[in-house]
Structure 1
Amino acid sequence: MKHLIFCIIMIWPLLLAAQTKPNTTIPFVLEDNCVYIYCQVNTTDSLKFIFDTGANGSVLSETAANRLKLPRTGTTHNVGSNGTNTVSQSAGNVIRFGSLTKSNALLTLIPYEGFKFDGVFGTDLMKGYVIEVDYHKKELRFYEPAGYHNDLGAYARCKLRFVADYPTVTSTIVANGRRYTGRFGLDTGAEDVLTVAAPFGRKHGLPARLPRIGTAVSQGSDGSTYESAVALAPEIRFGRKCFYRVPATLSQSTSGADATEDKAGFWGNGFLKRFNAVWDFDRNYLYLKPNKNLYTEL
C-alpha cells in the first residue's frame, strides 16, 4: 500500500506539469454575440477592442485616434462587407494586451459610426500565439506555440486554410438533397450566424432554394448600410458536425467582402460563440468544443 501511495505522489506533479501556463490571460465581455477586451495604445489604457478573426490588421476608430492625437502616416483601402473606402493609417504605435506588448504597431483608422468600441484586435496581433477562447470563464489565454501541450482530446479539430489572409474552413449547405460546398471565413467580429457571399449564392441559386424568413440590416466598416434577405438553411455541415435550421444571411452585395469570389461566405460569432475554441495560428488548426451557448437561440 505504501508503494502505491508513493507512485501516486510521484505521478501527480507530472500531470500538473502537462498543463501549459499561458503567457497572459485576458478577461472578456460578450456583447451582441461578440468578444470584447480592453487594451492600451501608447499611454492610453482601457480602450475597448473587438476580438476579430475576420480582420487581418488592427484598427482604431477615428474618434479614439483623435482623442489619442495619433499621427497620420499614410492611407490604405479598407474593404468593408459591402464596399471599400480610403482611410488613414498610423504607424509606430505600441499596443499592450494583458502582459503582452506589440511594438511598432500599424493601426488603420476607420470612422466607425454607431459602434460602441474603440478598436479592432485583428489577426496581426493573434499570430505567433495559440489562443484559447473560454466562454465559461470568459477568458482569452495566449500561449507560446512551441510550449503548448494542453489536452485537446475533447475538441474537434478543423484545418484552417487562409484565403487572402483570411482563416476559412470547408463547410457544406445541404438543401433539397443537394450539397453546396465552399470555404467559409471565420469572423468573430460579426454578430450574425452565417452570411452567404453573393457570388456563391447566385452560382447555386440559393435565394430560390432556401425559404426566406426575414431581412437583416447591416452596417459595414466602409460606412455603408444595406439590407439582405435571411433564409433558413435546412442543414449545414461544419467539419464533421451537422447543424439544422440555420439562419443564413444571403448577401446581394456587388462590392466589398460579401461580394468576394474566393470565399463562399462567413461564419459569424453568433455561431462561433457556441464553442470554446483553440486558435493555433502557428500550425493552422482550429479546435472546437461545445459550450453552454450551444443550444441558445440562433
Structure 2
Amino acid sequence: MNNKYKLCLVFMLLALLPDQYIQAQQQMTPASARKTSAAALKVKIPFETDNGAIILRVKINGSQRPLRLLFDTGADGMALSQDLADSIGLKVSRKQKASVVGGSMDIAVSEGNVVHLGAFDLPDQSIAIFKELHKGTDGIIGNTIARSYVTKVDFDKKELSLYDFDGYEYEQKGTVVPISIPSGLFIIPGSLAIVTGQAHPAEFIFDTGAAYQLICFRPFVKKNRLLVSGFKPEYHGSTSSMGVTTPTFSGKAASFSFSNMPLIKEMPVTLMAGGGQSEDWNPGFDGSIGARLISRYNFTINLKKKEIQLVANKSYDYPHDFAIGGYLFGFDGDGALVVQGLTAMENPGLKLKQGARLSALNGFSAPQLLKDRKQLDKLLAMPAGTNYVIESVYNGQVFKDTITKQ
C-alpha cells in the first residue's frame, strides 16, 4: 500500500521561525503566575477530514486562491510545491537541506509570508518549497500554529480553535499527556509489543500527517528485530516523502500504549523495511503515532505546559482498519465504511475504488457492523479463499464486486 497523504510528512523540515519560537518560550509565565480568567479565543476554523487527516483552507499573502493544506504536527513548518509557489508569487529567500522520511533533500525557502485563516492572520511565516508534493492537497501547514497558540482540534465538530496561552483551561475532562519538544516536534513515550510479553519502549512523534495508526522507523525496527520476531505481515507497501520512497510491511501488534493512555490490543502497525536511504537514516525518534489513531480523540496542544490533552470522541470505539483481497477498509469519523486504499495491484476487473463508501459487506451495512462487532470479527476470521460481496458507492454510482481473501 502506498501511503495516501504521508507524502506531506516532513521531520525536522526547517528551523522555521526559530527566533520567534525561542522568544515565545522565554516570555511564557511560570505555573504560579498563570491567570485564572478564561483565555481569549482567537479564531475557530472549520476543517475537512480525509481518513483522519485534518485539511484547512487558507490563503497566502495577496493571492485570492484558496489552498487546501494538511495540518501536520509531524512537520515543524509549512510547505508548498514549486509550481504552486510560483503560481501565487512566492519569492525564494534562501536554500537549505531538509530531512524527510528515509533521507534528505535540498529545498528553497520563502520568508515573510502572511497566511490567512479566514479573517485571522499568521504573519511572518516561512514556507518550504519542494519540487513536488502529494497531489491530494496543496501543501502542509505544520505545528507552527501550536507554537503561538493553544490549539484545540474537535473531530466531532470538525473545528480547529486557537486560544491565547495565558489563562487557558481545558473545557472537557480528558487525559493529559506530557510531551517533549526536541527539534520542534512533539514526542510522546510509548511501548510496542509485536508479540505478547515482548514490549519495546520507544519515543513517538504525535503526527497528524502520518496516514497510519502507528509507523515504526527503520532504526527502531532493525534494532529490535521487529520484522523477524513473530511479526505476521498482512500486506506490504511503501511510504513516500517528497520523492523518497521506503518499503514497509503492515500487520497487527499484540499491544501498544503511549504515555498514561489505556493499552490498545491488536492494533495495526506499519514497520519500515530496509533499502535505499532508509538504512543510513537516523531521525532520532522511533516512529509516529498517526492520524488513524489520533483522530479517535479530540485533542488540545498546549506547548506552554508541554502537554496534549486527549478526549475520546465518537469514533474512539470504532473497529481498527482491516485488509481483504487487496483493499484496506476503515471507518471514517462519521461511521461510514470507506476503502482507505489498495494493498495489492489494482484489479482492472473490479469497480471498487479508493475512497468508495461501502453500503454493505456480505450483506451487512456499516451501521450494523458498528453495532455488532462480533459479526465483523466473524467476517474477518473467515479462511483464505473466502469470497466477500462488496456493495459500494463512488461518485454517486452504485457498484457490486466480489473480492477474495488471500
> What secondary structure is seen at the aligned counterpart in 1 of 2:181?
strand
Counterparts of 1:195 and 1:58 in 2: how far apart (Å)?
Answer: 22
Which residue of the partner structure matches residue 233 of structure 2?
Answer: 212
CA gap of 1:150–1:287, structure 2 versus 1, over 3 A, is: closer
Shift in CA distance, 251/258, structure 1 to aligned 2, threshold 3 Å = farther
Aligned-residue Cα RMSD (Å) equals 2.1
Query: SS in structure 2 opposite 1:146?
Result: coil
Partner of 2:330: none
Partner residue, 1:8: none
SS in 1 for 2:109: strand
Instruction: Choose which of 168, 189, 198 in structure 2 pairs with 1:170.
Output: 189
How far off is 1:285 after superposition?
A: 0.3
The one-letter amino acid paired with 1:248 is V
Letter in 2 for 1:52: D
Amino acid at match of 1:141: S
Percent identity between matched residues is 22
Please say if 1:250 is aligned against 2:250: no
1:116 equivalent in structure 2: 136
1:119-158 pair list within 5 angstroms? 119-152=139-172, 154-158=173-177
Note the alpha carbon deviations across 1:3-47, whole angstroms, 9 max, x for none: xxxxxxxxxxxxxx9765521000000013210001110012421
* Counterpart position of 1:159: 178
TM-score (norm. length: structure 2): 0.65
Q: Aligned to 2:148, what secondary structure does the other structure show?
A: coil
**Size of the alignment, in residue pairs?**
280
State how far apart, in whole Å, the 1-side matches of 2:177 and 2:96 are: 32
Deviation at 1:119, TM superposition (A): 2.1
Q: Is 1:283 the counterpart of 2:283 in the alignment?
A: no
Deviations 1:240-267 (A, max 9, x none): 3111111211112564699435211111
Whole-angstrom distance in 2 between the partners of 1:122 and 1:148: 22
Moved more, 100-109 or 18-27: 18-27
| Contact 1:195-1:248 within 8 A present in 2 as well | yes
Partner Cα distance (1:67, 1:296) in 2: 42
Per-residue deviation, 1:188? 0.4
Please tell me whether the aligned partners of residues 39 and 166 of structure 2 are also in contact (alpha carbons under 8 angstroms): no
Deviations 1:35-89 (A, max 9, x none): 0001110012421111010011111221210111211111121222122110111
Q: Answer yes or no: is the 8 Å Cα contact 2:190–2:258 preserved in 1.
A: yes
Aligned equivalents of 1:258 and 1:103: distance in 2?
37
Find the aligned partners of 1:258 and 1:266 in 2 and give their Cα distance: 18
For 1:249, the aligned partner's letter is: T
Residue range with higher mean Cα deviation, 93-102 or 80-89: 93-102
| Alignment-mate amino acid for residue 270 of structure 2 | T
CA distance in 2, matches of 1:189, 1:258: 23
Q: Does 1:260 align with 2:282?
A: yes
In structure 2, the residue matched to 1:7 is none
CA–CA distance in structure 2, aligned partners of residues 237 and 114 of structure 1: 30
Report if the CA contact (8 A) 1:81-1:257 is conserved. no
- Contact 1:84–1:256 under 8 Å retained in 2: no
TM-score, scaled to structure 1? 0.87
**Alpha-carbon separation, structure 2, partners of 1:257 and 1:267:** 21
2:59 to 21, 29, 40: 40
Distance 2:169 2:270 in 1: 38
Instruction: Tell whether the 8 Å contact from 1:19 to 1:150 is kept in structure 2 after alignment.
Output: no
3-state SS of the aligned residue for 1:145? coil
Structure 1 or 2: larger strand share?
1
Paired position in structure 2 for 1:5: none
CA distance in 2, matches of 1:27, 1:192: 23
Aligned to 1:150, what secondary structure does the other structure show? coil
Q: Gapped runs of 5+ residues in structure 1?
A: 1-16
Q: Could you tell me whether the CA contact under 8 Å between 1:58 and 1:125 is conserved in 2? A: no
1:95 paired with 2:115, answer: yes
